[in-house]
Structure 1
């Protein structure tokens, strides 16, 4: 099922661009044009929130505090017209997973949202794996064991390709990882694989992918 997102954005043009870009995840987007609407819409069904930092009726960081006090724990991203790194760090210090400076490209937006969504997904999605393998639990466990044995070698080849700037080879390894993650239900790792596929030159995204893989390997 496609993730459900909450977008808080008062500017109609920006909201239209963001909604269209987020549909490329694909995702279902609930749009709130102001803080009050976002308060009403926010719920546990959202996989992530994307909030414009400054709105006519207040600041998104205050809303984030309110929603956390209600027990809602969706990962939150901030959008801001500020480009000063100190301003971005201040938003992150307020509890946003990442602050994105406007204008943000669709590629960077989707990569950030995929990372955020991966935080609300279990490391292993047993139902997805069962569906992929016809409901056979024994096959799921056997394939996961094989996946984990081969994962360190796959990561090494991918890391080497990315570091030498060989995008074509990196995409081949990512394509294989997408398929294998889907079969075994490695939901968080799959989100990072997709994010790196969108920007294979980004070292920070590669680091996050390796961190997600490490979570599986130490289990």
Structure 2
């Protein structure tokens, strides 16, 4: 039986870049890969677009008039009512070193795109979206951590944090404000450890907690399942 294309709507990506050539390439490249794009040329316009529309992915240039990628994402994460407050985000930059990449991952970006880039890099960006991501991505973790030893050490720390969180999520009484703060820190760890799939579940739960904290039981149960899957992968 053939599946109707309407059952799988194309991902919607906000492309924010003040360089016209970069913006054109990124937009054309993402559309060639099946995405729908909305494009803008400065940080404040990007913030407004992301406030008004729910995007699957935010591709934000680090240096734009008005606000750069970091400032745009921080403003969105701080405002739970923004339609894209919990969306996955990727920073883009033509000037990037290892320390800058680590800072952006710690700020909540799932990955960093170095410009100029090609279609293969854009495919990697789209692969971050839920349903397309492996539980553990060794390549992404190595890019973030720098070497295998550091990657393994960070993953051991993450495993301990997730084991404790899994137990706590099963308890009947939870402090949602404290949980939101803990989830914020967990997203940074996910970036360093190559667990983008879990990072997507973190973002989804954060948004649910902010929208309706009194009816978050199903979302917490779903997230607890994602934590368990990640733990099993880390133990393999």
The TM-score with structure 2 as length reference comes to: 0.51
2:72 counterpart residue number = 63
- 8 Å Cα contact 1:82/1:88 also seen in 2: no
1:172 counterpart residue number = none
One of 78, 95, 106 as aligned partner of 2:108: 95
1:203, distance to aligned residue in structure 2 (A): 5.1
1:103, distance to aligned residue in structure 2 (A): 1.3
- 8 Å Cα contact 2:44/2:67 also seen in 1: no
Aligned length: 137
Q: How does 1:157-172 map to 2 (within 5 A)?
A: none
Gaps spanning 5+ residues in structure 2: where?
1-8, 142-193, 199-225
- Following the alignment from structure 2 to structure 1, what is the Cα–Cα distance between the partners of residues 46 and 196? 31
1:44, distance to aligned residue in structure 2 (A): 5.1
Gaps spanning 5+ residues in structure 1: where?
119-187, 194-201
- Following the alignment from structure 1 to structure 2, what is the Cα–Cα distance between the partners of residues 39 and 58? 9
One of 120, 133, 140 as aligned partner of 1:192: 133
- Following the alignment from structure 2 to structure 1, what is the Cα–Cα distance between the partners of residues 71 and 120? 28
Which structure: larger Rg?
1
- Following the alignment from structure 1 to structure 2, what is the Cα–Cα distance between the partners of residues 70 and 59? 17
- Following the alignment from structure 1 to structure 2, what is the Cα–Cα distance between the partners of residues 13 and 57? 19
- 8 Å Cα contact 1:7/1:32 also seen in 2: yes
Q: CA RMSD in A?
A: 2.9
- 8 Å Cα contact 2:110/2:196 also seen in 1: no
Q: 1:54 to 1:192 in 2, by over 3 A?
A: same
Deviations 1:132-184 (A, max 9, x none): xxxxxxxxxxxxxxxxxxxxxxxxxxxxxxxxxxxxxxxxxxxxxxxxxxxxx
- 8 Å Cα contact 1:35/1:58 also seen in 2: yes
Q: How does 1:1-219 map to 2 (within 5 A)?
A: 1-42=9-50, 43=52, 45-71=54-80, 72-115=85-128, 117-118=129-130, 188=131, 191-192=132-133, 204=139, 215=229
1:125 counterpart residue number = none
1:60, distance to aligned residue in structure 2 (A): 1.6
- 8 Å Cα contact 1:8/1:32 also seen in 2: yes
The TM-score with structure 1 as length reference comes to: 0.55
Q: Which moved more, 1:71-80 or 1:55-64?
A: 55-64
